Structure 1
């Protein structure tokens, strides 16, 4: 019973997630049928739990009515899953006709089962319902109709799943989900075929002595589990990939944080104000997206840093660039690491010079770090970390500060440090 509750919860969560994707203009028929199938499956299992079963029977005043409800929901879950696959595998001209035929068959089977249930009028029992009343012809016929309809639907479901899986190219997760879907249908045949065999033997007057209940329930729950996993696997993989992408965005945004914060502190008007959502859920979603990182916030951060560079350009100093290259090479840096440190030093000195209202120089420049947004993000993250941690940047700033305290021109101080002695002439 615990496993039944777990599978029911999984199906309910999967159905609720599918339903949430249907809001607005996303009402795709195949996805709608998948949501219906998962919700029917979850309810079919939920009504079989002892407390719910007893409560519903008492509430409706009909003994064992939850058996009919559960069987009907199970049958309609399989039919809905079949309709979903019809939309995937049939041409637009043939789709509606195929869906209507399957719905009509399910409606007919439900009506026949309901009529046989009313005729049987089985008393309440704590034992297995079918096992207790299988020797009564209305119940045996009821289970033959139910098992036959379920068998037909599961075979068709497995067939269409495998057909659609053969058409898919380049989406291995979706193919795996369809194979699990087909496997769940085939495993569930152990349940539907078993109850049909038991019902037929009881109907002809032969006692079925084998313990079939455990086998049928294992096949039923295992098949349902495979179908649920196969249904949600493609969507879960997509959601996981999106979550990983957001996590990467958040990491890149964190890497750019020191540079962005330094730019914003020097230019408080740069950050673009965003419209504030009016509702609580909107504000929570905006906060979550900002905290986790998304493509829009990442793009804004790059644009704001580049805007800061434009306003700092008059203080970019070519002498700082030259000195940072020399100090960086002495520190053993080269390649992109050296370029990032040099840019960080130029930006750090420019920020300091602007804050002190020093004269504009405008002899240096900063080249774009990437050919596209991804390249820019990676490059600015590298520059940001150099600005925050590089000893070369700290040394260049320290030299500038020392020259300022001694009241000397920073270029002359740098030449002295290089051994040219120009500062004393």
Structure 2
């Protein structure tokens, strides 16, 4: 049996999963929370198991340890670690409508912790039993990175070790699939809904691995041949597909959030440029080049938040040059075109800022505080402020905004 396909698939899946785990660990280091730590462990444990399961790594570990098939117990402990972490995570995560705050772990209750402790107790008892059975069994030779289960299941200690492992894994898969499916049913359509559904689906698919393995182990223990392919061929297919779906489920919402932050960061650039040209002291640093901005992939939340704050400062700086005529003109045009309230506010602010910059550049005297025109959106909730500013940036160079500025110009 060629080991090359297994090396490629296992190392590929493990490497990708570890990239996702590293991103979660990075997020946890920036914003420590129990939930993020469990997410990181839920991804890192099986990622490590897949890397170790690659025959090339499996054999290397055995050579270094001077014990045949030692890597097997490391692989199974990694998957068992995933099982325990996933069971915890499924109960800690709280759907948005049931949260008491903005964090996904806020609604964790005493009953939740009771359920978590009860399930972890099962793992705490059975994992040492697993390891003891493996070490007591006679499974050091021959070295079998791909056929360990069916080769050594004739030893009752190894068979018991394998059945306990599969039982824990199957229990976790069914548990997280059931819980995640319930969570997904209470979520609105979107990236998070799709991610939770993928995790639930991945758990169901991976159950095919457990079923194949149990049948193969049972037949091998009974010394019946012919079912080895379930363990060596079909089972790994279910495991790999389930791992891909679960990893995609964890990564999908994070990728969607990253893309949204990057889109917001770039969308705010025209608005930021406008206020920066009005007063360069508002910014901590000079504008990045177009290429630098296109290639920006790190610290996007911080960059976008800072850009939003600088835009707000610029809006306050330009307020003395905002004329009431442009606000009135923009409001009339918004009413004429039937714009929604959010779009109406964004149009008014965009037109006001454009006219204010023109007035500032033309040498118009600033209005005293008591004569300054208030603009909509200044009292926007922090959670909605970014969307408001992105909408303002969208209208900044829109034809409707230019029309409002032109209409108000004679009266300005």
Q: TM-score, normalised by structure 2?
A: 0.69
Equivalent residues of 1:340, 1:382 under 8 A apart: no
Matched, 1:115 2:98: no
Structure 2 unaligned segments of length 5 or more: list them: 1-6, 95-106, 286-296, 327-346, 379-384
Equivalent residues of 1:344, 1:383 under 8 A apart: no
Equivalent residues of 2:51, 2:57 under 8 A apart: yes
Matched, 1:371 2:389: no
Correspondences of 1:157-168 after superposition (within 5 Å): 157-166=176-185, 168=186
Correspondences of 1:336-415 after superposition (within 5 Å): 346-350=359-363, 368=373, 370-372=375-377
SS of the residue 1:38 aligns to: helix
Cα deviation for residue 134 of structure 1 reads 3.3
Q: Residue 280 of structure 1 corresponds to which residue in structure 2? A: none
Matched, 1:83 2:101: no
Correspondences of 1:108-187 after superposition (within 5 Å): 108-118=125-135, 119-125=137-143, 128=146, 129-166=148-185, 168-170=186-188, 172-187=190-205
Q: Residue 422 of structure 1 corresponds to which residue in structure 2? A: none
Q: Residue 92 of structure 1 corresponds to which residue in structure 2? A: 109
Q: Residue 105 of structure 1 corresponds to which residue in structure 2? A: 122
Equivalent residues of 1:85, 1:160 under 8 A apart: yes
Matched, 1:227 2:226: no
Match of 1:190 among 187, 208, 229: 208
Q: Residue 11 of structure 2 corresponds to which residue in structure 1? A: 5
Q: Residue 311 of structure 2 corresponds to which residue in structure 1? A: 298
SS of the residue 1:227 aligns to: helix
SS of the residue 2:11 aligns to: helix
Q: TM-score, normalised by structure 1?
A: 0.67
Cα deviation for residue 218 of structure 1 reads 0.6
Cα deviation for residue 74 of structure 1 reads 0.3
Describe the shift of the 1:290–1:25 C-alpha distance in structure 2 as closer, same or farther (beyond 3 A). closer
Equivalent residues of 1:188, 1:219 under 8 A apart: yes
Describe the shift of the 1:298–1:126 C-alpha distance in structure 2 as closer, same or farther (beyond 3 A). same
Describe the shift of the 1:348–1:377 C-alpha distance in structure 2 as closer, same or farther (beyond 3 A). farther
Q: Residue 330 of structure 1 corresponds to which residue in structure 2? A: none
Q: Which protein is bigger by CA-based radius of gyration?
A: 1
Cα deviation for residue 303 of structure 1 reads 3.2
Structure 2 distance, partners of 1:338, 1:164, is 43
Cα deviation for residue 65 of structure 1 reads 0.9
Q: Residue 97 of structure 2 corresponds to which residue in structure 1? A: none
Cα deviation for residue 44 of structure 1 reads 0.7
Cα deviation for residue 35 of structure 1 reads 1.4
Q: Residue 54 of structure 2 corresponds to which residue in structure 1? A: 49
Cα deviation for residue 176 of structure 1 reads 2.0
- Equivalenced residue count is 341
Structure 2 distance, partners of 1:144, 1:204, is 14
RMSD: 4.2
Equivalent residues of 1:180, 1:230 under 8 A apart: yes
Equivalent residues of 1:369, 1:380 under 8 A apart: no
- The Cα offsets for residues 238-288 of structure 1, whole Å up to 9 and x where unpaired, read as 23222222221123223x16xx42x44xxx8xx25759xxxxxxxx98999
Structure 1 unaligned segments of length 5 or more: list them: 276-283, 322-334, 352-359, 397-425
Equivalent residues of 1:252, 1:378 under 8 A apart: no
Describe the shift of the 1:122–1:85 C-alpha distance in structure 2 as closer, same or farther (beyond 3 A). same
Matched, 1:214 2:233: yes
Equivalent residues of 1:246, 1:293 under 8 A apart: no
Cα deviation for residue 224 of structure 1 reads 0.9
